[in-house]
Amino acid sequence: MRTIALVIEYDGARFHGFQRQPELRTVAGELEKALPVLCGAPVEVVGAGRTDAGVHATGQVVSFETSYAGPLERWPIALAGILRGSGIAVLRAVEREHGFSARYDALARTYQYRILNRQAPSPLLRGRALFVRAPLDLAAMAQASTTLLGEHDFTSFCAQVPERGRPLRAVESLAIERSGDIVELTITADSFLHQMVRIIAGTLIDIGRGRRSADDMASILAARDRAAAGATAPAHALYLTHVRYAQPL
């Protein structure tokens, strides 16, 4: 048996999230339909990030085991035909050591939240970025974001606290950059709580619009109460862009 890791891209608007769900179209479900066509036997995929419905990916990683011996450099080409029209693309395939898990061996994940910040919406970016007409104070947003760096209890930024384990997460970096009309919030952490990035994005947008002060972020974090933070930003502007491993993919 071989352990294979795939780096994939997908349009989250076409799926009810990553995780397989009975009678619903999901990324894992579509992959588990397509891969047996190539591999000749059923497979079960494990994803690095269990993205919610509507969330996109440009660098999601999945792993699975197969006895198929086909050359890895041909996998993206072969799967492009099998997955045609599905909303999923396989960017590359890499063989890993036996027992490798896309989820449990991940050291960090990077997400990006994209905001279109101008007077008029864009029909070309509809479903790809959040339209915010009001000017955003990026300096205030950046100041507030420094409060979130390091390991903290992120209960205030969690839609559903995990039943097992603690709500502690370690945020390595949180950058806020503007390029023309696009503002990008890029955050890297060891892992994320449920809807954590979207709630952080919603809170930072409130700060950028002047609805909250940058100094409020410390009290929001310390409250450990979801009601203290801002609204959950929409899923359609969120992207899983990279997953880091000890041995890069």
Distance CA 166, CA 149 (A): 18
Other C-beta atoms within 10 Å of 54: how many? Answer: 19
Report which of 185, 155, 189 is spatially closest to residue 171, judged by C-alpha positions.
Answer: 189
Other Cβ atoms within 10 Å of 1 Cβ, number: 8
Cβ contact 239:187 at 8 Å: no
Assign 3-class secondary structure to 43-89: CCCEECCCCCCCCEEEEEEEEEEECCCCCHHHHHHHHHHHCCCCCEE
Strands 56-66 and 238-244 turn out to be parallel
- Catalytic residue among 11, 52, 105, 215, which? 52
Q: How many residues does the chain have?
A: 249
Three-state secondary-structure class, residue 185: strand
Contact 209, 136 (CB under 8 A): yes
Per the annotation, the verdict on 52 as an active-site residue is yes
E-only strand ranges, the chain: 2-10, 46-47, 56-66, 88-96, 108-117, 130-132, 150-153, 168-179, 182-189, 238-244
Active site residues: 52
